[in-house]
Each structure stands twice: as C-alpha cells, then as structure tokens.
Amino acid sequence: MQGKTLHQSECTMTNKEVFEIKDKLLAYIKGLNLINPKKLTLDTLIERDLGITGDDAIDFIEEFAHEFNVDITSFDYSKHFGGEGVNMFDVISRLFFREKHVIHADMPLRKLADAIKIRKLD
C-alpha cells in the first residue's frame, strides 16, 4: 500500500521530524510551480501529475538530490520515468516483433520523502 511507506520507516524519527520532511518536500515542489499547490500531496505522482519525464526527470531527481543531500547513485530512472519523446525503434519492435512494452511505475512524492529520511533514493 503506497500510503504506509513513510509511516513504516519513521520508527526512529519523531512525528515532528516526519512532518518537517513532508513540509520541506511539498514546499520545494510548490516552488517549482508544476501543479496547483492545493492538489499537491505525498501521493502526487511525479510523471502523471507533475508532467516530469525523460531528461526533465533526470534533472529533477538530480536537483532534488542536491537540495536534500540524497544519494542517487543506484537510482534507476527507467523504472520510474518514460523516455524523451517517441522512440520509433521501440514502436516498430513492438508492432513487428511483438516485443512487450516496458512499463514503468510512476513514483509518488512519498518515495522522495522516504529518501530524504534515509538519505538515499533507490
């Protein structure tokens, strides 16, 4: 269940620290002016709701990591974000060779909040 990630990992943190992380992250995202701030929650999806994908996702995650001092050395972008534009080779391969389209799991802001807590994004 998506909604429990931060709560399961907060064992060593006080409620105040958990809320501070949430508030800092949401303030950071609000500052980017990507979405109506009233609609922004930890369940907001980075690609679908914020429209961040491809090269923009790489830039976003790198800036996030720098801002919050989070290690992203083992983060696999392809698991969470689509590529830039349409890859015609991929389309042709799926049409003619019946290759499966790789589906990625859109990442909620909750995962970034967890990464701030443990200083690592996987």
- Per residue in 1-15, pLDDT (tens digit) is 344 444 444 456 788
Cβ-contact 106, 47 below 8 angstroms:
yes
Residue 103: what pLDDT? 62
DSSP assigned state of 83:
-
16 near 99, Cβ under 8 Å?
Answer: no
> What does the pLDDT read at residue 82?
76
pTM of the model: 0.73
Range of the domain at 93: 2-118
pLDDT in tens, 64-90: 999 999 999 999 998 888 766 545 555
Nearest to 104 by CA among 40, 47, 35, 34: 47
CA atoms within 13 A on the CB side of 41: 4
Give the chain's domain count: 1
